[in-house]
Amino acid sequence: MKGRFTELVSIRRIPCVGAVIKDAAGRLLLIKRGHEPGAGLWSLPGGRIEPGETDHQAVAREVMEETGLTVESRRLLGSVELPGLDGTVIDVRDYLAVVTGGELAAGDDAADARWVAAADLDSLPLTSGLAGYLDAWGVYPA
């Protein structure tokens, strides 16, 4: 329309992966985020996909960096869009993964890492929507 100015805003999307990992006792591996977004909240291990990396490579790298564990990713469980910093959108694809080695220790941007029983999940401050996504995908606490 004449005299009208329309600005198109491009939203920056950040591709990320996450890993749903259980131990032999059925406990879920969670990390306590050490940095924003979500500093101090408990979440799945994961993070940004680096240029040229596949989702499965990113899962293995991120889990190693944050927990010291080596994993093999399996099937895609689901994806979510989360609000990031400065108006960005974080596109997360969460994969089922299994531990193949290593020793659990918090590292990189994780302030802590631990195995969490389903009964203890509600007592932790979780990242927004995490419990609902896990339940909807039928992987935890089921």
* Dihedral (Cα; 93, 99, 100, 104), 10-degree rounding: 120
Whole-number Å distance between alpha carbons of 81 and 64: 24
pLDDT, mean of residues 81-98 = 90
Domain coordinates in residue numbering, the chain? 13-136
Q: Which residues contact 61 (CB under 8 A, 6 or more apart)?
A: 50, 53
* Termini Cα distance of the chain: 55
Q: Which residues contact 121 (CB under 8 A, 6 or more apart)?
A: 28, 131, 140, 141
98-130: pLDDT as tens digits: 999 999 999 978 999 999 999 998 899 999 899
Residue 99's beta-bridge partner residues? 71
What's the length of the chain? 142
Determine the pLDDT at residue 9.
Answer: 56
Classify strands 42-43 and 69-83 as parallel, antiparallel or unpaired: unpaired
pLDDT, mean of residues 35-62 = 94
pLDDT, mean of residues 69-81 = 96
18-43: pLDDT as tens digits: 999 999 999 999 999 998 878 899 99
Query: Does position 6 have pLDDT exceeding 80, yes or no?
Result: no
User: Is 13-136 in CATH node 3.10.20.30?
Assistant: no
